[in-house]
Structure 1
Amino acid sequence: MRLAAAVAVAGAGLLSLAACGSGAPEPEAEQTEIPEELAGSDLPPVEVDPGLGTPLEERVATIGLINKRNNISRDIEMKPGESRRIDDVIIRLAACERTAPWETPALTGAFVQVLVQEREEAGSDPEWKRIFSGWLYKEAPAVNVVEHPIYDVWVKDCAMSFPGEEDTPS
Structure 2
Amino acid sequence: MGSALLLAACDQPATDGEVVEVPITQADPVATATTAAPADDYGATPMDERVAVLGLLNKRNNVAEEIELKPGESREVGPVIVRVSACERTAPWEMPQQTGAFVQVDIRGRGEAQHRRVFSGWMFVESPSLNVVEHPIYDVWVKDCTMRFPGEEGSAAAAPTPSGTPAARPSAAPTAAPEAVAAADPAPDA
The aligned counterpart of 1:163 is: 150
**Equivalent in the alignment of 1:128:** 115
Q: Which runs of 5+ in 1 are unaligned?
A: 1-47
Alignment of 1:101-116 (within 5 A): 101-116=92-107
C-alpha displacement of 1:168: 6.3
The residue number in structure 1 matching 2:161 is: none
Identify if the C-alpha distance between structure 1 residues 108 and 125 changes in structure 2 by more than 3 Å, giving closer, same or farther. closer
Deviations, residues 48-74 of structure 1 (Å, cap 9, x unaligned): 926530000000010100000000000
- Which whole-Å CA distance do the structure 1 matches of 2:140 and 2:112 have between them? 25
Aligned-partner SS, 1:57: helix
1:155 CA drift (Å): 0.2
Q: TM-score, length-normalised on structure 1?
A: 0.65
> Distance in 2 between the 1:101 and 1:169 partners?
14
Q: Deviations over 1:108-135 (max 9, x none)?
A: 000010000014xxxx543310000000
Partner of 2:133: 146
Q: 1:93 aligns with which of 50, 73, 84?
A: 84
Which residue of structure 1 aligns with residue 124 of structure 2?
137
Instruction: Give the aligned partner of residue 48 of structure 2.
Output: 57
- SS in structure 1 of the partner of residue 40 of structure 2: coil
Q: Which has the higher contact order (CA 8 A, sep 6+)?
A: 1
Quote the Cα distance in structure 2 between the aligned partners of 1:113 and 1:93. 7
Hey, what's the Cα distance between the residues in 1 that align with 2:105 and 2:118? 6
Number of equivalenced pairs: 119
Determine helix, strand or coil for the equivalent of 1:140: coil
Q: Is the 8 A contact 2:42 2:149 kept in 1?
A: no
Report the TM-score, using the length of structure 2 for normalisation: 0.59
Structure that is richer in strand per residue: 1
Runs (4+) of structure 1 exceeding 6 A deviation are none
**Deviation per CA, 1:74-106, whole angstroms, max 9, x where unpaired?**
000000000100001000100000001111111
